[in-house]
Amino acid sequence: MKKIELEIITLSHSVTQSHSFAVVLGEVGGIRRLPIVIGGFEAQAIAVALDNMHPSRPLTHDLMKMICDTFDISLEHIYISKLQEGVFYSNLVCKQHGETYEVDSRTSDAIALAVRFSCPIFVEESILTEAGTVADSAEVKLESDEISELITPSEHLVESSNFSGMTDDELDRQLSAAIDGEDYEKAARIRDEMNKRKK
């Protein structure tokens, strides 16, 4: 069984299922893409971690990482191991005190944890062959970090709001209030506006 390493390319609204999102994984050093449909909560959990946002209270995946850190459990990598009837199955490959353990996981949760642990994502070659797509020629010319810069998760998860009329101080206050109120979609939009001003 050959494992292919993947990286997160973007998050977007799912074109096949309403009220769902898709996380698009790309083959490291290659042109194949693997889109996976996920729920809104999981998409938000991934986007929060990708945007380096720090909510006042930990989200579920943040809590899981804190528990792992407390008990000296490291997440070595995640492995998308099976595709059955359109459902992806994954394993968390963990290590504690020199022992390796594999834990069954939903793929969306596994990806949300992989972002937090900064660990690799692997997929079985046959799954990428069956469910993957090939990036179009325009996208292939872009490096993955350029793609992330052009298509940030928050741009796809929420409609853009106009914060351009606010001062930097007002944006800071709005961002703090959104994070404290756990309105991460609004916080992501504000962060987008702040990032635009830094360029």
pLDDT digit string, tens, across residues 49-79: 888 888 888 889 999 999 999 999 999 999 9
Mean of the per-residue pLDDT values of the chain? 82
Cα angle value 145/149/152 (rounded, 5°): 115
**Domains in the chain, number:** 2
pLDDT at 126 over 90: yes
End-to-end C-alpha distance for the chain, whole angstroms: 44
Domain range for 170: 158-199
Tell me, what's the pLDDT at 179? 77
Rounded (10°) angle between helices 107-117 and 40-50: 10
pLDDT digit string, tens, across residues 129-169: 999 998 764 454 333 343 333 234 443 333 334 567 778 88
The reply to whether 111 and 175 lie within a common domain is: no
Confidence band (pLDDT; 50, 70, 90) for 177?
confident
The reply to whether 58 and 144 lie within a common domain is: yes
- Report the distance separating Cα 168 and Cα 180, nearest Å: 18
The reply to whether 119 and 174 lie within a common domain is: no
Which token pair is 165? Answer: 């009329």
The reply to whether 169 and 134 lie within a common domain is: no
The reply to whether 151 and 162 lie within a common domain is: no
Task: Look up the pTM and report it.
Answer: 0.69
Tell me, what's the pLDDT at 173? 79
For position 139, which CATH number holds? 3.10.690.10
Tell me, what's the pLDDT at 39? 86
The reply to whether 43 and 98 lie within a common domain is: yes
The reply to whether 78 and 94 lie within a common domain is: yes
Nearest to 182 by CA among 53, 12, 63, 51: 53
The reply to whether 152 and 95 lie within a common domain is: yes
The reply to whether 39 and 92 lie within a common domain is: yes
pLDDT at 4 over 90: yes
